[in-house]
Amino acid sequence: MTAEAGSPPDYARACASRRAAFVAGMRDSIGSPALVLGASFVGFGSLLYELDIGLWLGYLSIVTTWALPAQVATVEMFARGAPLVAVFVAVALINFRFLPMTVAMLPLLRQPGQRARRLYLLAHFIAVTTWVLVMLRGPEMPPEQRRPYFWGGVAMVIPAALAGTTIGYVAAGAVPPQVTHGLIFLNPVFFMLVLLVDLRQRARAYSLLLGAALGPLLHDLTPTWGLLMAGLIGGTAAFLADRVLSARDVRRG
């Protein structure tokens, strides 16, 4: 989630060509972004092993979805026997963020002379890691080099995710069950802490609190739809509460 890229290179010079931009993208992703991302997939691999799901299905999930929280949710809901429509709605809600993320990033990448259609392929590989890098470094480099820069990052983080998943899968089968418990536990802990990194927005903080409180309660009521109801009720209540409080803040000046 962090975008520390070591010493800041001079992008106008470092990216003298499209190939140099690709290499710069690889270099900026190979350190802590790829490491943190790869490590975050270890828990996913362990969860697959625990649920007796083949490693290749984890790889399939990575290349077709490429969004870890939704991948974990998909596997978790499958293990609970949730209906397809519940999986679709839950993943659609969890991954809605890709709409505003893509909308915000595309003006940097849309250039005359570069094929617009290829952006539909590129968008499939947007993840928080590469998104942060392009938003941060993209404006500093010539427009035609931003896409190769992005692809250079992708070329690093996808193998990191595949490697992390493999490590988690193999480790879960090789260590004592107590350690496997710890490995599977990495998933909820990782998401919990990632969400807490950015709590300054009141609406988000309320959404987290209400969702966490309503989730288990509504799951007891209806295991199939509890997750979605918790999201819709908790998220909407948080959004409305924030609007009311913001309006009050404005009136008070």
Partner 1 sequence: MRETSAVAEASTSLVIVILVGALATYMWRALGVALSGRIDPDGPVVRWVACVAYAVLAALIARMILLPVGSLADVPVTSRLLAAGIALGAFYLTRRHLPLGVAAGGGALTLLSYWT
Determine the Cα–Cα distance for residues 204 and 77; give it in Å rounded to an integer.
24
Q: Establish how many alpha carbons lie within 13 A of residue 116's alpha carbon, considering only the half-sphere containing its beta carbon.
A: 4
Residues 108-137 that bind partner 1 (CB under 8 A): 110, 119-120, 123-124, 126
Per-residue tokens: 139: 């404006």
CB of 105 to partner 1, least distance (A): 8
Q: Smallest distance from the beta carbon of 192 to partner 1, in angstroms? A: 5
Q: Which of 41, 98, 149, 225 binds partner 1 (CB under 8 A)?
A: 98
* Residue 175 CB partners (closer than 8 Å, separation 6+): 183
Nearer to partner 1, 13 or 84 (CB): 84
Kindly state the number of chain residues that form the binding site for partner 1, as judged by CB under 8 A: 107
Assess 61 for contact with partner 1 (CB under 8 A). Answer: yes
Q: Which of 188, 221, 247, 249 binds partner 1 (CB under 8 A)?
A: 188
70 binds partner 1 (CB under 8 A): yes
Least Å distance, CB 137 to partner 1, is 19
Least distance to partner 1, CB of residue 44, Å:
12
Distance CA 180, CA 183 (A): 5
Which residue in this structure is represented by tokens 């990632």?
194
Q: Is the CB of 141 or the CB of 227 nearer to partner 1? A: 227
How many angstroms separate the Cα of 36 from the Cα of each of 11, 135, 232? 24, 19, 30
Q: Could you give the count of Cα atoms lying within 13 Å of 221 in the half-sphere of its Cβ?
A: 11
Residue 203 near partner 1 by CB under 8 A: yes
Residue span 229-248 as binding mask against partner 1, x where in contact by CB under 8 A, dash where not: -xxxxxxx-xx--x------
Identified binder of partner 1 from the candidate list 54, 139, 159, 173, rule CB under 8 A: 54
CB of 229 to partner 1, least distance (A): 9
| Distance, CA of 251 to CA of 246 (rounded, Å) | 9
- Under the binding rule (CB under 8 A), the answer on residue 170 touching partner 1 is no
3 state SS of 66: coil
Binding flag, residue 204, partner 1 (CB under 8 A): yes
**CA–CA dist 90, 118 (Å, integer):** 28
Neighbours of 207 (CB within 10 A): 21
- Residue 214: CB minimum distance to partner 1, A: 6
